[in-house]
Structure 1
Amino acid sequence: MRCPFCAHEDSQVKDSRPTDDGAAIRRRRQCEGCAARFTTFERIQLRELVVVKSVAEGAGQRREPFDREKLLRSISIAARKRPIDTGRLEKLVSGIQRRLETTGDSEVTAKRIGELVMDGLRALDPVAYIRFASVYRDFTEARDFEEFAGHVGEAAEGA
């Protein structure tokens, strides 16, 4: 493992343990070049996923590799300043990734990922859910928020 501080090629594993959700191994490493310590995470990856994104109407589709960290960042932005433990967000992302990898398809649409995130956030926190929906569904006016929040409120009352 290359050192993030000095780019030395060799490091020594000082400690290994599973993460809280058991979806990864956390390794504490020490660089053999500069002696700096850093942490790495090792995750199971069942298959390489490619995200298919719709481009502007008539322009076709764009493909890019699935990026777990990008997904976590977007969910974290929606959950910013909410009383949600980062471990729960990690667990949500791990669950989404596992569901995508176990479908058997190597390509997944950005729309499918968005729907899975919406489902997960709906159960986790209504404010984070609305924030994510505002970007995902491209709200353009305050009325869009009002209508969506009204549906969220009705669903919560009916539950």
Structure 2
Amino acid sequence: METSLTIAEVAQRTGLTAYTLRYYERIGLIAAVPRAPGGQRRYASADMDLLDFLLRLRETGMSIQGMQAFVRLRNQGDASVGERREMLEQHLAEVQARVAALQQSMQALSLKIDHYRAVEKTKKRPPSSGTAPEGKTSNDEHTEPGPQRQPALHARPGQASRDRR
């Protein structure tokens, strides 16, 4: 015989509150949980498996409505396998796009941190000639330097200097 868990045990294992577990049951994310003779909910291992997967979906940002749609399809059995796969593929693509955006943000943060470390490192060095006037600080705008114009020191014969205006 399969062992069953109380709502307190499931809450402890999943990190969900008893209130959330009852809410999930009320909105149809999990089927009505069988009750012990005293009326206490008893969760089976199949309930735990579904809860584990729902937590994965929630962790990846799927909405309650999306999870409900998935569970409705799941309740249809094998006839909805293709729709469930498509739904999960679409969700996976959305998760991958968010991960890519986060990676870009992480890269931007890393560049800014490196910039500040370089500024701090320069401030720790003793001042040398040609340093910025006292009181000047680094600009938070981290932009790529534009093209630098170099004066034409020795123009070739027949070629005008670019610096003449």
Judge same fold: TM > 0.5, yes or no.
Answer: no
TM-score, normalising length from structure 1?
A: 0.30
TM-score, normalising length from structure 2?
A: 0.29
Q: Flag the structure with higher helix content.
A: 2
